[in-house]
Amino acid sequence: MENLPWFLLLIPIASAAIIQLGLKKSAALSSALSTISVLATFIIAVLLLGKDFSSSFNWIEAGTLRLNIGFKLDQLATCMMIVVTGIGLLVHIFSLGYMRDDPAKARYFGCLSLFMFSMTGIVLSSNFVMMFIFWELVGLSSYLLIGHWYQKDTAADAAKKAFLVNRIGDFGFMIGILMLWAITGTVVFEAMNGASLDTAGTYLAGTAILLVFCGAVGKSAQLPLHVWLPDAMEGPTPVSALIHAATMVAAGVYMMARTFFSLGITAENMEILGNAPDVIAWVGGITSLVAALMATQQNDIKKILAYSTLSQLGYMVMAVGLIAPEAGMFHLFTHAWFKALLFLGSGAVIYACHHEQDIWKMGGLLKKMPITAITFLIGTLSLTAVPFTSGFYSKENILIAAKDSPLLYIAVGVAALTTFYMFRLFFIAFLGKARDHGSKVAKEVPVVMWGPLAFLTAAAIASPFFSQFFPTNGHVEVHAVPHFGDKLVLMSLGAFATGFVFAFLLYFGKDKEPISIPLFRNKFYLDIIYQRLVTVFQDAVAALVHFFDEFIIGGLLVDGATRSAQGVGNIFRRFAQNGSLSSYAYLMGLGAVLVIYFTVFAK
Amino acid sequence: MPFDSLPTPTLNEYLMISGLLFAIGLAGVIIRRNIIVIFMCLEMMLAAASLTLVAFSRFHTVDGLPDYDGQMLVFFVITVAAAEVAVGLAIIVSLYRARQTIQTDELTSLRG
């Protein structure tokens, strides 16, 4: 049992290595191997539920620096591990159907195994350095999988964008880790304590936490680094479900929760961080609002879900910033299941409609693919926090965390917007009549694809009731049952009703977009602004660097040195090299005399 | 023997003579314009060096006998100098054929 967690790391990496090194030619074998490996990790993760122990071995030791590779199991890790391996397993099975005819199937499954390795590494890691290594590894596997269809320019660009944007966040993360190290004197989670934050002072501690949060901003796609996530939808849809909805993007929230738990930050002692929690909460709140607004005007089914993911991640980050990381983790847990369900459902729809992603070209799919449609509807109900679905309980906890803050109104507003855009999607894509060839010939997907959907549907409804999975902070009860009649519940239900009514009035039975808001459709023009800014900034830096290189280094240092040597040489040439043999002889004699003088007499 | 009454020269006196000879040679090399004369002055410097070698050999005794290594070296110097004169004079002749002069102040192609 003690060594079991190591297999969580070893099995996926072995699978990835075997596929990459030996099985590239055999798609069937590599997909089977990859799926079996993730099944094994899932079984191990279930066996490890509720365990609480850690182990490590020494990796680097130099002077006082000691770095370990190790794992730390607690409720937080085992809960996250169930999400990662469970959804990973279902996504693998779904991929068997979705990627059946892909020419690069072996590479795809190899990359999935690599991702499973990296993600389990993040979840298990017992210290910040190890977490950072695996943090970068998930970035790499995300890059590889977004760019799976690299022959498409958009996919290659999206992969690059995701990688580069994440690098910005990761840089802050690294500095944050170093600062926390300097403050607490350790990078090991178990050895950290909040007392050292007190001695470091508010500013230093707050800055360190915010820099660590930078990593979460990049990975969890918060404003202003959110731009990569919608583009990442260029990857295969199962990848979007696994990496860009359920697990990797939630790693930021997981990491913040891990940090807060390790430092022992609670609502009572949050003053030691100064304004940092407020900043985190507001970043999350604004992200959720902005992303929800963007989602209302998108036409690509995956883009809608991507902005919805952004918005829900904003919720989680908000909860973390309100020092309720357990509420954030609870939402992460429930969200992972129903968002994976929605993404896989959209994958089934896209597959059935011959890779058509525009919802205005779908329609009437409820009759043609009833299983997909009903599971999708249940996912939608969970996301929109209808009572007795998982989203209801977890969102309620976030509202409770926000109840004393103006963020409550943002959260409720976002809930209404979520209902609005999700039912817009459902009305257009699944009801009405087929508007295009793809949706006319659509038929139900094979069992290998709807099977995972059914499992995820069960999880989307039942997930809040496995209360032993959830991490607690010691002082907060697991509150899976909100009180009806409570003000917050009424607000949540009101938000749902408002969103639903508006979606019904505007979109039920419509065949084309009745309203057009360019600001939302064009994502607040943020991509264009970034592009311009990057261009201007890059040109300015390039001009500066060119000036420095051309005139300071080239002109002053390199050419300057040669010119001064040349000048001195010219002076000597004019005086000494006059072509007269006797003066040469004289100088030589003088030289010999001087050498003798200095060596013999001038001691 | 009439020479017995003469005082025996000391090592310093030999070195003094040889230094003078060397200085005169160097001065000749520097001052004179005619390459033949410069050549002769060079020979004089070689002679000065040889004289020093012989003097040291005479005054440095090993087991009561002079150290003949220095004198051996003088023979070498004379031999090499003879070869050098042959080469040097040949160069001077061909120089004269090429330039119609052996005055150094007219040979300035070494100007930098």
Query: What digits encode the pLDDT tens for the residues B62-94?
Result: 888 888 888 999 999 999 999 999 999 999 999
How open is the CA angle A109-A255-A155, to the nearest 5 degrees?
40
With an 8 Å Cβ cutoff, is B26 touching chain A?
yes
- Computed over every residue of chain B, the mean pLDDT equals 88
Q: What pLDDT digit, counting tens, does each position of A49-64 carry?
A: 877 888 888 888 887 7
If you count them, how many residues does chain A have? Answer: 603
Q: Is the CB of B110 inside 8 Å of chain A's CB atoms?
A: yes
Could you give the CA distance from residue A107 to residue A239 in angstroms, rounded to a whole number? 13
State the helix-helix crossing angle for A301-321 and A325-352, rounded to 10 degrees. 180
d(CA A184, CA A381): 44
Output the CA–CA distances (angstroms, integers) from residue B22 to A150, A172, A589, in the order listed. Answer: 86, 78, 11
Highest mean pLDDT among A192-196, A511-515, B98-102: B98-102
Please name which of A261, A260, A264, A228 lies closest in space to residue A244, comparing C-alpha atoms.
Answer: A228
pLDDT of residue A599: 92
Return the C-alpha torsion angle A83, A212, A224, A543, nearest 10.
-130
Residues of A contacting chain B (CB within 8 angstroms) = 573, 576-582, 584-586, 589
Q: Distance between CA atoms of A162 and A158, rounded to whole angstroms?
A: 6
Q: What is the DSSP letter of A550?
A: I
Note whether A581 contacts B104, CB cutoff 8 Å.
yes
Q: What is the pLDDT of residues A481-491, one digit of tens each?
A: 555 557 788 88
Q: How far apart are CA A190 and CA A197, in angstroms?
A: 15
Query: Helix, strand, or coil here: A252?
Result: helix
- Does the CB of B92 have a partner CB in chain A at under 8 Å? no
- For residue B73, the tally of other CB atoms under 10 A from its CB is 16
- Residue B112 scores a pLDDT above 70: no
Give the one of B30, B107, B112 whose C-beta lies nearest to A577's C-beta. B112
Confidence check: pLDDT of A471 > 50 = yes
Confidence bin at A477 (pLDDT 50/70/90): very low
Strands A54-62 and A65-72: antiparallel
Name every chain B residue with its beta carbon within 8 A of the beta carbon of A581: 38, 104, 107, 110
Instruction: Say which of B38, B107, B111 has its CB closest to residue A578.
Output: B111
Residues 6+ away with beta carbon under 8 Å from A518: none
* The Cα angle at residue A140 between residues A138 and A146, in degrees rounded to 5: 95
Name residue A246's amino acid. A
pLDDT digits (tens, 9 = 90+) for A162-175: 998 999 899 999 99
pLDDT digits (tens, 9 = 90+) for A517-547: 788 777 778 888 888 988 899 899 999 999 9
| Token reading at A59 | 């990796």
Element (H, E) at A86: helix A75-98
Mark yes or no for CB contact A579/B33 under 8 Å: no
- According to DSSP, the residues that pair with A62 across neighbouring strands are A65
Instruction: Tell whether B60 is within 8 A of chain A (Cβ).
Output: no
CA-nearest residue of chain B to A589? B26
The Cα of A588 is separated from the nearest Cα of chain B by a number of Å equal to: 10
Backbone angles phi, psi at A151, to 5 degrees: -65, -25
Distance from CA of B38 to the nearest CA of A (A): 9
pLDDT confidence band for A460 (50 / 70 / 90)? confident
Best of B22, B24, B29, B30 to disrupt the A interface by mutation (most A CBs within 10 Å)? B30
Distance of CA A333 to the CA centre of its chain: 15
Which residue of B lies nearest to A576 if distances are taken between CA atoms?
B112
Query: Mind telling me how many Å the CA of B78 is from chain A's nearest CA?
Result: 22
pLDDT of residue A468: 54
Closest-CA distance, B21 to chain A, in angstroms, reads 15
By CB neighbour count within 10 A (0-12 exposed, 13-18 middle, 19+ buried), where does A465 fall? exposed
Omega before A224 within 30 of 0, i.e. cis: yes
Tell me which chain A residues have a C-beta less than 8 angstroms from the C-beta of B108. 578-580
CA distance, residue A566 to nearest chain B CA (Å): 13
Which residues of B fall within a CB distance of 8 Å from A580? 104-105, 108
Cβ separation of B108 and A578 shorter than 8 Å?
Answer: yes
- Indicate the SS3 state at residue A25: coil
pLDDT over 90 (residue A562)? yes
- Return d(Cα A396, Cα A330) in angstroms, integer: 10
**In the structure encoding, which two tokens stand for residue A411, read together?**
């959260």
Beta bridge partners of B61: B66
Q: Are A351 and A445 in contact (CB under 8 A)?
A: yes
Main-chain dihedrals φ then ψ at residue A275, nearest 5 degrees = -90, -5
pTM listed for this prediction: 0.75
**Residue B65 bridge partners (DSSP):** B62
Ramachandran bin of A310, using left for φ above 0, alpha for ψ from -120 to 50, beta for the remaining angles? alpha
Do A585 and B30 count as a contact with CB atoms less than 8 A apart? yes
For residues A87 and A247, the answer to whether their CB atoms sit within 8 Å is yes
Residue A190 — pLDDT band, cuts 50, 70, 90?
confident
Contact B108 A580 (CB under 8 A): yes
Instruction: State which residue of chain B sits closest to A572, comparing Cα positions.
Output: B112
How close A579 comes to chain B (CA, Å)? 4
Do the Cβ atoms of A582 and B32 come within 8 Å? Answer: yes
Q: Is the peptide bond prior to B7 cis by the omega test (within 30 degrees of 0)?
A: no
| Tokens encoding A65 | 């620096």
* Mean pLDDT of all residues belonging to chain A: 86
Phi-psi region of A482 (alpha: psi -120 to 50; beta: other; left: phi over 0): beta
Task: Test B104 with A573 for CB contact under 8 angstroms.
Answer: no
